[in-house]
Chains A and B, each alone.
Chain A
Amino acid sequence: DSGVTQTPKHLITATGQRVTLRCSPRSGDLSVYWYQQSLDQGLQFLIQYYNGEERAKGNILERFSAQQFPDLHSELNLSSLELGDSALYFCASSATSGTPTYEQYFGPGTRLTVT
């Protein structure tokens, strides 16, 4: 158990809909990262928050957005869903950001299926 929790575990929805994925980082971790994992693309970095502020952006679509709340939990919002958005979505947290090395601890993921 990494200490990172994600809900829900599974999500099935229709095209055009909007969903929210939730992540609670390990106790004390200030950084939260969101990743998308599909079979053909591997693990793709979407976005990072550090203590409530956006720190880095990766391959995140404009239809997707995220935020980190004062209690440090984070939500990833996916809207106007398309079939190609079906994937595993992982959240990870780390204790530090901006130092030479930082180690990320991953949650169990949310499997999103868009039908």
Chain B
Amino acid sequence: TQLLEQSPQFLSIQEGENLTVYCNSSSVFSSLQWYRQEPGEGPVLLVTVVTGGEVKKLKRLTFQFGDARKDSSLHITAAQPGDTGLYLCAGETSGNTPLVFGKGTRLSVIA
């Protein structure tokens, strides 16, 4: 059973377009993290959100944690080829449990 469902699975867009990817669950998370992974490399942490309704911005990336702490979204404004990669969300259900990862959204931004 996949606790975290990410959508879409694949996304190919033109440079300059906006996009949103989603991370959904029926479980409540005490925190949720977003990672970006490039081919042949390990995931790199982008952000951690911990409060329901929280919004965090990282340059052109906006992360939102759902009010009920069951879902999250990542919005990218004016996507660039450097944004290409696999975006993973990972949730923590309690302080002593390992992170649960979604399968990711594979983003391709075409110049």
Task: State whether these chains interact.
Answer: yes
Mostly, the B contact residues are loop
Pair A102/B44 contact, Cβ less than 8 Å: no
A58 to B95, CA, bound (A): 16
**A-side interface size class:** 20 to 34
Instruction: A104 to B47: give the CA distance in the assembly, Å.
Output: 11
Cross-chain contact A108 with B101 (CB below 8 angstroms): no
Residue B33 is within 8 A (CB to CB) of chain A in the complex: yes
User: For residues 56 through 111 of chain B, which have their beta carbon under 8 Å from a beta carbon of chain A?
Assistant: 88, 92, 95-104
Query: Counting CB contacts under 8 A, is B52 at the interface?
Result: no
Query: Is A105 part of the contact surface with B, judged by Cβ < 8 Å?
Result: yes
Q: Answer yes or no: A64 CB below 8 A from chain B CBs.
A: no
For window 62-115 of A, CB contacts with B under 8 Å fall at 90, 92, 97-109, 111
Interface string of A38-74 (1 = CB under 8 A from B): 0000111100100000011010000000000000000
- A105: chain B residues at CB < 8 Å are 45
Cα A4 to Cα B43 in complex, Å, equals 12
